Structures are given as structure tokens and as C-alpha cells.
């Protein structure tokens, strides 16, 4: 079930919010837990059993991992390694086994051998709930937060439907204090969360989905028909589509979480206004960056053990960041590309923002250009397509658009692309989502009214007409 469907918007959410509001406090987590599992099973089907199995393993392990628990320190460590190994094994088998067997089959075919290729259905949100489970057991092991003894509260944390299938990635330490069975829930939470949800709906349905046909047509263009204008339309269009799609989902998730009485972590902070790649990763998919920082980069030594160790750690993190997004060489190249850029910035002292307006403007343009180049690998179905698009971006020509792209490049979509580009290049503060949710100025009030009336109404009309598509990060 997608957030941008009539079933979810007009039946599921109202029913859940009503139940949470009228139920006794002690029932609220149970309502969220049951609703979340129903939400997940509508999209995941039989693979819901995998989620349930992972929850059982991690819940039981958490009860024995606490520093004051029944196990000695060495046995706790062994149990932690074992449960993390289990979580990663589940992720590797269901997400990467098919890719691995495809590569082995391709290599074997060179010598005439025929190896089978394994095809497993990818469970929705497996990358996200795997990281939630690892966060839980590690934080309990470290003694940063206690283990949950109520299974219902544990299900609420792992399966909470606003963030289950595409984040934000909520570390256990960030939400542990919000999960008591007797937690409060007020109408004020709904009043604060709905404008944020409406903003995300507008981003997704009005902007991202409108740009999707143009982007799809550009990247589907055969290499012998690819031109400079098609390549740039596709690259910039995808950069905007992905931002409005994923930040829109995050706004909807954060808004839904607030309406249910939870405060989920921020995930975007105007990333395209960054003046360095280092700053970009402090603003883009921030919950993923924080997860890798806390559970991989710092345990590896971070930047405390010398320059080359820092470079090694960055390389490991971004290779894994690339592959976390998908089982394809294009994601690996995208991760290596960003890791290399971060290393170059550190090596030459470019990680900090330059001084002076002209320098800032130039570095901001360069950073955006580099990010767009990276998105070409991220969007392309294979490396051949990526290099075809990038090669044509380098060679200006005066050729027109192929028919398929010309049909998709309507005046409305081109105008929307330009408007979206202006919006994402505005100054880096304030960040619209948090500002809309908490600010008490006249400007914020006017923006809330506009989003909740004109914007949400138009988005609802588009949803009713079926002009929406699945969120891009559902595939991860």
C-alpha cells in the first residue's frame, strides 16, 4: 500500500488516527503495531513472514544483550555478532543472491559452463528494517537504551508503517523514550503533523510524478539517438524527481509519525544548496549517513587513526552505501564516486565551505554538477546507459529531441522542471519541512494554509485520477 493511493489516504489513515485518539493509552502501541503489519502485508504478501522471523530473533536477542543481563561479557559479544550476522545474512540472501549468481553464471558461460541463476522476490523495505534491527541490538548491547520487554512495543518500533518501507532510518536511541505504553497523544500532534504530510504529498504527486515520464523517456533513449539535450534533460530531471520523491516520502513519514504521537528524525535539509560533497552528505538522506557513521565508520576508527585509515574507512562506508541501495554495478560505481569525492575534499582541504559570495556560488554549482553526474549512474539500468548519457552531456550539439522525449517534454513538464530547479537552489535555510511544522510566523501560517488547501486538494485530485507512481525508494 503506497502513501499516495486513495485506499491509504481516505480510509487507512483516518481509521488508524481515529482508533489511536479514542483508545485508552495502553492500547495505542497495539493499534499502531496491528495497523503497521496490515499495511505491510498488503504490499509484501508472503514475505511478511520474513519480517516476522527477523523481529522474533532480534527481540529475543535484545532481552539477553543488555550489560546488566544474564550473560557474561564474552557471551554477550558472541550473541551480538551472531544476531548481526543473521540480519546481514537475510539481507544478503534476499537482496544480493540473485545478482551474485548472475555474475557467476556470466563468468561460467565464458568457458561454456551453465550455472543456474537464483531469483528471489525482494521483500519491501528489507534494507530499512535490517538496519533498524541492527541499531536495536547494538544500542541495547552498548547500554545506550534498555531492551524492550513488551513485544507489542518492539513491533511498533520495527514495523511502524510511516517509516517501515523507505525510512527515515530510526536508530533505537532516537525513539526508545517515545515508546512507553502510556505515552500521550494529542490533537495538537495531528495539527502539527498534517501540514508536513500534506507538503510531502504535494512534492511526490505534483512534482516528482509529473517529471517521471520525461526522465523515463530520456533514459530509455537508445545510445545512437542520445543527444546533448536529452542527456541533460534526463540527468537534471532525475536529480529533481528523486529529491522531490524521496524528500516527499520523508515529509509524509515524519508527518504521519507526528500525527501518531512520534517524532521521527529529519532526513533532508536542502541538500542541493550544499557547497561541498561533505556538506551534501550532511543534508541528503541524513538518517542513512548517521547510521553508517555510528555503526560502521566510528567503530572502524573514524578519522582518529591517521589519514590513510580515514580514507580506508570512507571507502568502505561508501562502497557499502552504494550496494545498500541495490544489487547492480551502477550503485557500486555511484558509491565509489561519492567516496572518492569525499577523499579528494579531505586531501586538499576542500571539505569546508569557501569564503566570499563568488567562491560560494561557484562551489555550489560545482557540487550540484557532481551530484547530478553521480545520479546518472544511480538511475541508469546498466553502466552502458550511464556512460552513454555522460558522454553526450560532454558534447554539445544542435540536434533536436527524439520523438519519444519530445512527446514527454510538454510545456507543463518543462515549466515544472525549471520551477523545481529554482526551489531546490534556494538558500539552505530555513528547511521547509521543519519550518512548516513548528514555526509560528505569519509566513509559516500562510504556507500551511496553502499546502493544506490548494496543494493537498490538487494532489488529491491527481491521486483520484490515478496519476501517481510508486515511491522510488520502495525498490531499496
- Residue 97: its pLDDT value, please? 93
* Residue where a domain terminates, one of 185, 202, 218: 185
Q: Is residue 332 part of a domain?
A: no
How far apart CA 465 and CA 417 sit, in angstroms, is 22
pLDDT digits (tens, 9 = 90+) for 123-179: 999 999 999 999 999 999 999 999 999 999 999 999 999 999 887 999 999 999 998
pLDDT band at 182 (very low <50, low <70, confident <90, very high): low
Same domain, yes or no, for 59 and 78?
yes
The count of structural domains within the chain is 2
Q: Are residues 271 and 360 in the same domain?
A: yes
Residue 284 pLDDT:
96
Report d(CA 54, CA 463) in Å as an integer. 34
For every residue of 344-372, DSSP letters joined together read HHHHTT-SSPPSSHHHHHHHHHHHHHHHH
Same domain, 105 and 226: no
Looking up cell 495497523, which residue turns up?
35
Note whether residue 315 is domain-resident.
Answer: no
Q: Do 126 and 265 have their domain in common? A: no
* 98, 203: one domain: no
pLDDT band of 116, cuts 50, 70, 90: confident
Q: Would you state the pLDDT for residue 427?
A: 82
Q: Is residue 295 part of a domain?
A: no
Residue 474 predicted with pLDDT over 80: no
Are both 77 and 175 inside the same structural domain? yes
177 and 209 housed in the same domain: no
- Tell me the pLDDT tens digit for each residue of 184-223: 667 788 888 999 999 999 999 999 999 999 999 999 999 9
Same domain, 162 and 207: no
Instruction: Find the domain containing 19 and state its range.
Output: 6-185
**Which residues are the active-site residues?**
325
pLDDT confidence of residue 220: 94
- Taking only the tens place, the pLDDT of each residue in 426-448 is 888 888 888 887 778 888 888 88
Task: Give the count of beta carbons closer than 10 Å to the beta carbon of residue 32.
Answer: 27
- The answer to whether 221 and 409 have CB atoms below 8 angstroms apart is no
Provide the whole-model pTM: 0.93
Q: Is 438 exposed, middle or buried (0-12, 13-18, 19+ CB in 10 A)?
A: exposed
| Per-residue exposure over 111-146, b if at least 16 CB sit within 10 Å of its own CB, e if not | eeeeeeeeeeebbbbbbbbbbbbbbbbbbbbeeebe
Query: Does 347 fall in a domain?
Result: no
196 and 74 share one domain: no
> Are 75 and 46 part of one and the same domain?
yes
The last residue of a domain, from among 155, 185, 215? 185
Mean pLDDT value across the chain: 91
In this predicted model, what pLDDT tens digit does every residue of 347-400 receive, in sequence order?
988 888 777 777 788 899 999 999 999 999 999 999 999 999 999 999 888 788
pLDDT of residue 181: 63
Model confidence over 301-345: pLDDT tens digits? 988 888 899 999 999 999 999 999 988 999 999 999 999 999 999
Do residues 107 and 142 share a domain? yes
- Are 228 and 116 part of one and the same domain? no
Residues 338 and 374: their CA atoms lie apart, in Å, by 7
Considering the domain boundaries, does residue 314 fall inside one? Answer: no
pLDDT reported for residue 288: 96
Domain boundary among 161, 185, 209: 185
Amino acid at each position: 500500500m503506497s502513501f499516495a493511493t486513495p485506499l491509504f489516504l481516505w480510509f487507512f489513515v483516518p481509521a488508524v488516527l481515529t482508533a489511536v485518539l479514542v483508545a485508552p493509552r495502553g492500547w495505542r502501541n497495539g493499534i499502531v503495531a496491528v495497523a503497521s503489519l496490515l499495511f505491510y502485508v498488503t504490499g509484501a504478501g508472503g514475505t511478511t513472514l520474513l519480517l516476522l522471523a527477523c523481529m522474533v530473533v532480534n527481540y529475543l536477542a535484545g532481552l539477553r544483550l543488555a550489560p546488566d543481563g544474564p550473560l557474561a561479557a564474552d557471551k554477550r559479544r558472541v550473541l551480538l555478532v551472531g544476531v548481526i550476522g543473521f540480519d546481514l545474512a537475510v539481507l544478503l540472501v534476499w537482496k544480493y543472491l540473485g545478482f551474485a549468481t548472475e555474475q557467476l553464471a556470466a563468468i561460467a558461460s565464458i568457458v561454456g559452463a551453465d550455472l543456474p541463476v537464483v531469483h528471489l522476490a525482494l521483500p519491501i523495505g528489507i534494507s530499512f528494517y535490517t538496519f533498524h534491527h541492527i541499531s536495536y541490538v547494538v544500542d541495547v548491547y552498548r547500554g545506550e537504551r534498555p531492551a524492550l520487554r513488551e513485544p507489542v512495543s518492539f513491533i511498533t518500533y520495527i514495523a511502524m508503517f510511516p517509516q517501515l518501507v523507505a525510512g527515515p532510518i530510526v536508530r533505537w536511541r532516537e525513539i526508545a523514550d517515545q515508546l512507553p505504553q502510556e505515552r500521550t497523544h494529542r490533537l495538537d500532534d495531528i495539527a502539527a503533523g498534517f501540514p508536513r504530510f500534506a507538503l510531502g504529498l504535494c512534492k511526490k504527486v505534483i512534482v516528482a510524478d509529473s517529471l517521471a515520464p520525461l526522465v523515463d523517456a530520456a533514459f530509455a533513449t537508445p545510445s545512437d539517438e542520445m543527444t546533448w539535450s536529452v542527456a541533460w534533460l534526463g540527468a537534471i530531471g532525475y536529480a529533481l524527481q528523486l529529491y522531490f520523491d524521496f524528500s516527499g516520502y520523508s515529509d509524509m513519514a515524519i508527518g504521519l509519525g507526528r500525527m501518531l504521537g512520534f517524532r521521527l528524525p529529519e532526513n533532508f535539509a536542502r541538500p542541493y544548496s550544499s557547497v561541498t560533497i561533505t556538506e551534501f552528505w550532511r543534508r541528503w538522506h541524513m538518517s542513512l549517513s548517521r547510521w553508517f557513521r555510528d555503526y560502521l565508520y566510528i567503530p572502524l576508527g573514524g578519522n582518529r587513526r591517521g589519514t590513510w585509515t580515514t580514507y580506508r574507512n570512507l571507502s568502505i562506508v561508501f562502497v557499502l552505501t552504494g550496494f545498500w541501495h541495490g544489487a547492480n554495478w551502477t550503485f557500486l560505481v555511484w558509491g565509489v564516486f561519492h567516496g572518492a569525492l569525499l577523499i579528494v575534499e579531505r586531501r586538499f582541504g576542500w571539505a569546508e565551505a569557501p569564503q566570499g559570495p563568488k567562491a560560494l556560488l561557484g562551489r555550489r554549482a560545482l557540487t550540484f554538477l557532481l551530484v547530478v553526474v553521480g545520479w546518472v549512474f544511480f538511475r541508469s539500468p546498466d553502466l552502458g546507459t550511464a556512460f552513454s548519457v555522460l558522454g553526450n552531456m560532454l558534447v554539445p550539439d544542435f540536434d533536436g529531441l527524439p520523438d519519444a522525449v519530445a512527446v514527454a517534454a510538454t510545456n507543463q513538464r518543462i515549466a515544472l522542471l525549471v520551477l523545481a530547479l529554482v526551489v531546490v537552489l534556494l538558500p539552505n535555510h530555513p528547511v521547509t519541512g521543519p519550518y512548516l511544522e513548528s514555526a509560528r510566523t505569519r509566513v509559516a501560517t500562510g504556507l500551511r494554509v496553502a499546502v493544506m488547501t490548494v496543494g493537498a486538494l490538487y494532489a488529491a485530485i491527481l491521486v483520484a485520477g490515478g496519476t501517481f507512481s510508486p515511491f522510488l525508494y520502495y525498490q531499496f
